[in-house]
Amino acid sequence: MIYHTNNNMQIAHTAAEMRGQLQALRGHKSIAFVPTMGCLHQGHISLIEKAKSLADIVVVSLYVNPLQFAPSEDLEQYPRPFEADARLCADAGVDFLFHPASLYPESGCKVTLKVTTLHDCLCGTSRPDHFDGVVTAVNVLFNIVQPNIAIFGEKDWQQLSIIRHMVNDLSMPIEIVGAAIVREPDGLAMSSRNRYLNNHERQQALAISQALIAMQQQAENGEHDVKALRNTARNILEKNAITAQYIEIRNATSLEEIDTLDHHNNQNSRAFIAAHVGAARLIDNMPIHSMPQEQQP
């Protein structure tokens, strides 16, 4: 991969600095924004590359958002390798890096956003306040950066779906663009939390993408029954000593549950898995073709 090092990358540590740096560009340069929690990997870099292809200016934020972590979760442990992240961003050609100490008032946040759709399933079941925290942070970031376009990974499919609703419902003039999941060569979805895995757990974690692929293949071979597909995935995970938090097949847009695949209509279905492996909570998803590939329109 060829990167275009941007030696002129500017770093802002406060909202005022970020606004000031972008001020002169507004109106005549298009701005694409990639919000992240840092600890960057090739998945994040692919979002940056997409941003570069879509706009004149690329802004990346690095911020581990406390509002989206429950007290029992890994807020404190979450890796924050700022120097390495800044180098990766410069090497990827990022123009502005926003690295705030906090996004909220010192006295705490008295106004937050509440998600009322797509939030009470999949990750929302075990993380009930998570998406409220995500949209509140993304909203603050959007208000500071005021991008034309923002890029989010399909790795966090539910998050991407909720952000699309947020922008629509709150009438934000921002185009939301999804980016495909980037995987390790063996299939494991890249994640900052993969760093928590030891060698054995890294091997175990591979079962997550293998289980998704097995469901995909079984569906393509004609299995209609979602229960049967989920059992296939569960068996693969259990053989690798992984107990899934959820294994589900849902409509990719509405996130409604699907019981039976319709092999005569293209259903836009997607399979989702979340599982704890060692100290890491990992998520992944893949499309499920409800029609055999050769019959698809």
Residues for the chain: how many in total? 297
Using CB under 6 A as the binding rule, the residues of this chain from 25 to 44 that contact ligand AMP are: 36-37, 43-44
- Least Å distance between CB 39 and ligand AMP? 7
100 is a contact residue toward ligand AMP (CB under 6 A): no
Identity of residue 105: P
| Contact range with ligand AMP by CB under 6 A, out of 148-156, 221-229, 247-255, 272-280 | 148-156
Name the residues annotated as catalytic: 44
- Residue in the block written with tokens 């991407």: 160
189 is a contact residue toward ligand AMP (CB under 6 A): yes
Among 63, 153, 197, 267, binds ligand AMP (CB under 6 A): 153
Is the separation of the CB atoms in 39 and 80 below 8 Å?
Answer: yes
Among 31, 92, 176, 181, binds ligand AMP (CB under 6 A): 181
**Joined tokens for residue 21:** 């740096």
285 is a contact residue toward ligand AMP (CB under 6 A): no
Secondary structure letter of residue 190 according to DSSP: P
| Contact range with ligand AMP by CB under 6 A, out of 85-93, 118-126, 149-157, 226-234 | 149-157
Return the SS3 of 179. strand
> Distance between CA atoms of 272 and 102, rounded to whole angstroms?
32
Angle at 181 between CA 211 and CA 126, to 5 degrees: 65
Q: Which is nearer to ligand AMP, 50 or 230 (CB)?
A: 50
Exposure letters 3-21 (e unless 16+ CB within 10 A, then b) = eeebeebebbeebebbeeb
Interface contacts to ligand AMP, rule CB under 6 A: 36-37, 43-44, 46-47, 152-153, 155-156, 179, 181-182, 189-192
